[in-house]
Amino acid sequence: MPEFDLASAAVQAALDAGAHYADARLTVRRYESMSAHNGDIEDLTQDESAGIGVRALIGSSWGFYAVPDPGTAAARHAGERAARIAQASTLVPGAPIQLAPVDVRQDSWANGCEIDPLSVPLSEKGDLLAGVTATMREHGADIALASYDAWDTRKWFVSSEGHRIAQHVRECGAGMNATAVGDGETQRRSYPGIRGHFGTAGWELVRSLDMPGNAARIAEEARALLSAPQCPPIETDLILGGEQMALQIHESVGHATELDRILGWEAAFAGTSWLDLAQLGSLKFGSELMTITADPTLPGALGSFGYDDEGTPAQPVDIVRDGIWVGALAGRDSAALAGLPYGGSMRADGFNRMPMVRMTNVGLLPGQHSLDDIIAATDDGIYMDTNRSWSIDDRRLDFQFGCEIGWEIKNGNRGRMLRNPTYTGVSPVFWGSLDMLGNDLVYWGTPNCGKGQPMQIGHTAHPAVPARFRGVRVGVTG
C-alpha cells in the first residue's frame, strides 16, 4: 500500500541519518462538529488532515518531525529531520533510552461501528441539536447549547523493528447543557455529562443517549438550582454519581499512575505524581473495594484501540487491585526504565504530535449496589452529580471538585436540591473512605484530556459507577 511505503521511506531516511530506532505514522483524519445555540445551528465544521510524523531515537532523546500532505520526498525529509533533531539533543544528554520488547506485528484493526457518523445526514444531526436546544429554552434555560463531534481516523504505522499496522478508528459523541442566569450567578445542568458522552462507536451511540427525552428536565433543574439552598460547608458522607466518578478516576488515579509523570518527564508543566515506584505493589491507594484497570480492549469505550501509537498491542493492565497500587500507564521507553514488563499506553493527538503516555480506559470494577441502595443505606449525606469544575495539584494528591447539582440525603431518602456543591480531599485518604460501590457501569468518554508540550488533546474513557465515601469535606466556597 502506498501509505506503508511512505511510512517505510520515512523510517529508512531516519535510520540513514543515524537513528538506531525510528517509526512513522501516516495519519488521515476527518473531523466533523456541529453546535446549536438556543434553537439555531451556530457552527458546523468539517476538517480533514493528512500527514506523517516520524520519531527517531538517538542516545537519550527522541527527535520528532511532522509534515502535512506528504509525498515520498517529504516523507524522507521528515525522517532525516527527525534524526537531526534527535542528534542536536546530545548537547544536553541524559541516560540512553532503551525500549521494552514488544511483539512485532503486521496487522490491521478497526473498531465496531454500526452507523458511520459522517454518513448521517447533516439535516438529521442539525434537527437533533436545534430541537433539544429549543426544548431547553422552552423549559427555563437562558442559554441552551448542544453539540456533537465525530472523528474518522486511519493510521498506518511502520517501525524499524518491522511493524506494519493499519488501524481505522471511528469515534463520536454528543451532549447538551442548559444555563440559567440569576441575580449575580449562573447555574448549569448538562446531559449526559459535562461535555456529553463519547465512544469508539458509530452514530448509534448518539441515538442511544435520548437527548430529546432529557432536555426539558435539565433546563428545569438549572432554573431550580438558582433558588436552591447552598451546599453547606460540612464534613459528611458523600455519594457521587457515575459521571463525577469518571472525573474523580481521571484526575486522581489516571494521571497519578502515568509513568512519565512518576519519572519526572512532565515535571515542569503537567507535573509529577505522589506515587513512588519503590512502593509499587505495596502502597495502599484506597479501600479494598477499589480495583482499577486500564483496559484498551473494551468495545465501544473512547480509549480503545487495537495497537497504541508505537505498535504495542492493546491489553488490560491492573492499576489498583483491592486497594493496593500495582500498575502504571507506560510506553516502551518509560517501561524499560522503570523495569515494568509492558508499555501499551502511547498515543498521539494527530500526525503532527509525538506519542506520549495517555490514559486508555481507566476505570473501576463495579460493585453490587444500585444507586437507590446506596442512598437508602445513608443516614446523613450529600449526593452530587455531573462535573462542573476540577482542580488538582501537580502531584495529583490534593483536589477540589465541583458538581452541577447536589441533594441532601436524610435517613436514606433524597431530600432538598443543593446548589454549588463542591468537595475536597487528599487522594489516598479519600479513596480509603470508599465503602459502597454501585453496579450501574458506564464507560464515560473524555474527549478533552490535555497534556504535553506542545499541548495534545487525548481521548480516554473511564468505566465508572456511583460510589459512597465517608467523612468528606464539602461546600468550600470563595
Partner 1 sequence: MSAELAGLVLDLVAKAAPDAEAEVTVVRGELALTRFAGSAIHQNVAEDIGKVRLRLHTEGRTASSATTLTSLDALEALVERTIGAARLRPEDAGWGGLTPPSPLSGEGNYDPATAAADPGARAAVVRAFVDAAGGLETAGYCRTSETITVYANSAGQSVTARATAAITDGIARTCSSDGVARSAAVRLGDLDGAALGEHAAARARLAADPVPLAPGRYPVVLEASAVADLVGFSAWYGFNARAVAEGRSFVELGHEQFDPAITLHDDPLRPDALGVPVDAEGAPKRPLPLVLGGISTSLTHDRRTARQAGAESTGHAVPGGERFGALAGHLCLRPGPEGPDLLAGLDRGLLVSDLWYTRVLDPRTLVVTGLTRNGVWWVEDGRIVRPVRNLRFTQSYLDALAPGSVQAVGARAESIPGTYGEGRTSTPGVRLASWNFTGGAAD
Question: Judged by CB under 8 A, which of 4, 15, 72, 89 binds partner 1?
Answer: 89
Residues 289-328 that bind partner 1 (CB under 8 A): none
Question: Judged by CB under 8 A, which of 24, 63, 134, 437 binds partner 1?
Answer: 63
Q: Rounded to an integer, what is the distance from CA 379 to the centroid of its chain?
A: 34
Around Cβ 178, how many Cβ atoms within 10 Å? 31
Question: Judged by CB under 8 A, which of 94, 212, 232, 281 binds partner 1?
Answer: 94
Residues 392-411 that bind partner 1 (CB under 8 A): 392-395, 397-398, 400, 402
Cell 509525498: give the residue: 71
Q: State whether residue 450 is helix, strand or coil.
A: strand
Residues 367-396 that bind partner 1 (CB under 8 A): 388-395
Q: How far apart are CA 243 and CA 248, in angstroms?
A: 9
Taking CB under 8 A as the rule, does residue 448 contact partner 1?
Answer: no
Question: Judged by CB under 8 A, which of 267, 413, 448, 471 binds partner 1?
Answer: 267
Q: State whether residue 124 is helix, strand or coil.
A: helix
* Four-residue CA torsion sign, 410, 415, 418, 421: positive
Closest to partner 1 by CB, 57 or 364: 57
Residue range at the interface with partner 1 (CB under 8 A); choices 140-148, 283-291, 338-346, 361-369: 140-148
Radius of gyration of the chain (CA): 23
Burial class (CB in 10 A: 0-12, 13-18, 19+), 322: middle
Taking CB under 8 A as the rule, does residue 250 contact partner 1?
Answer: no
Taking CB under 8 A as the rule, does residue 265 contact partner 1?
Answer: yes
Closest to partner 1 by CB, 332 or 369: 332
Residue range at the interface with partner 1 (CB under 8 A); choices 17-25, 37-45, 159-167, 189-197: 37-45
Q: How far is the CB of 432 from partner 1 (least distance, A)?
A: 13
Q: How large is the angle between the packed helices 122-138 and 212-225, nearest 10 degrees?
A: 30
Cell 511510512: give the residue: 7
Question: Judged by CB under 8 A, which of 15, 50, 277, 340 binds partner 1?
Answer: 50
How many positions of this chain bind partner 1 (CB under 8 A)? 85
Closest to partner 1 by CB, 156 or 443: 156
Q: How far is the CB of 442 from partner 1 (least distance, A)?
A: 24
Question: Judged by CB under 8 A, which of 2, 45, 208, 415 binds partner 1?
Answer: 45
Taking CB under 8 A as the rule, does residue 104 contact partner 1?
Answer: no
Q: How far apart are CA 231 and CA 382, in angstroms?
A: 9
320 near 253, Cβ under 8 Å? yes
Taking CB under 8 A as the rule, does residue 276 contact partner 1?
Answer: no
78 near 65, Cβ under 8 Å? yes
CA angle 448, 452, 456 (to 5 degrees): 40
Phi-psi region at 322: left, alpha or beta (left = phi > 0; alpha = psi -120 to 50)? left
Question: Judged by CB under 8 A, which of 101, 281, 453, 471 binds partner 1?
Answer: 453
The grid coordinates listed for 285 are 491507594
Taking CB under 8 A as the rule, does residue 148 contact partner 1?
Answer: no
Taking CB under 8 A as the rule, does residue 424 contact partner 1?
Answer: yes
Taking CB under 8 A as the rule, does residue 440 contact partner 1?
Answer: no
Taking CB under 8 A as the rule, does residue 64 contact partner 1?
Answer: yes
Residues 180-239 that bind partner 1 (CB under 8 A): 181, 184-186
Query: E strands of 279-340, at which residues?
Result: 292-294, 317-321, 324-325
Residues 348-367 that bind partner 1 (CB under 8 A): 352-354
